Amino acid sequence: MRRAALVVATILLTACGQMTANPGGGAGGPEAAPVTVFAAASLHKAFPEVSVGMRVDYSFDGSSGLVDQLRGGTPADVFASADSTTMDRAMEEGLIDGEPVMFATNRLVLVTPQGNPAGVTGFDSSLAGTRLVVCAPEVPCGAATLGAAERSGLGLAPVSEESSVTDVLGKVTSGEADAGVVYATDAAQAGDRVKTFDVPGADEEPNTYWIAVLADAPNPEGAEAFVELVLGPGQAALSANGFGGPT
């Protein structure tokens, strides 16, 4: 009987040890499943600051390219787009669960290398003949650039159309381009590596950023928690990175 009692006691102690071996393993804890977030390239600096303390795997790229990946079956929990048009496309493809929510705004600016070797004077005719780089038309920053050019009556002749705004900025800061159209947040992150010019009408026609949980999210609870974080406490980090609030 004493031997049986010892066996039972050992089993109970082992069970107790297993029950307490995962402290902090609840939602958001160190053992919580990571949330996979597909987000517009312009969010590459702000979003990691938003999610400090949360396990998140990010994939940053042009919004339209991310939709292509999601439509192809790449698993993810959350999609954050840099415009409403691309989010609408994701909804039409049946990729979104529920209704997307606007969480930030951004505006276009023109940037040149700090020395401005081509003598660009702004978003105007001085861009003619320069090595201008913009986003491709299917990317939100590209669609916005086309709209800004139309409003200004300006014909653009870019030497390159990139799949993401970070690629445009990279070509300007490396000296491969004389000028590029990016978001104000990207220009701010580049600091003194670029010279910045306003784009006429950009304040009146800002890009709106939208976020949604994906229909086939492997981690729907974590996805909801991330979206709530972006819409709540995360607004401070977005503001600190130059994003405007939702309109």
Question: Which domains, and CATH codes, for the chain?
Answer: 33-106+208-240 (3.40.190.10), 108-198 (3.40.190.10)
pLDDT average, residue stretch 76-87:
97
Give the pLDDT confidence score for residue 247 in this predicted structure.
83
Distances (CA, A) of 170 to 18, 54, 59, 145, 193: 50, 29, 18, 17, 11
Instruction: Write the single-letter amino acid at 208.
Output: T
Binding-site residue numbers are 42, 63, 165, 183
CA gap 181, 194 in Å, rounded: 12
Model pLDDT for residues 119-139, shown as the tens digit of each residue: 999 999 999 999 999 999 999
In the chain, pLDDT over 90 holds for what percent of residues? 86
The dihedrals phi and psi of 167, each to the nearest 5 degrees, come to: -70, -40
pLDDT average, residue stretch 95-109:
97
Binding-site residue numbers for molybdate are 42, 63, 165, 183
Which residues does 201 contact at the CB level (< 8 Å), separation at least 6? 148, 151, 152
**pLDDT band per the 50, 70, 90 thresholds, residue 217:** very high
In the chain, pLDDT over 70 holds for what percent of residues? 87
CA gap 223, 36 in Å, rounded: 8
How many other CB atoms are there within 10 angstroms of residue 113's CB atom? 22
pLDDT average, residue stretch 37-46:
97
**pLDDT band per the 50, 70, 90 thresholds, residue 45:** very high
pLDDT average, residue stretch 227-247:
96
pLDDT average, residue stretch 17-31:
38
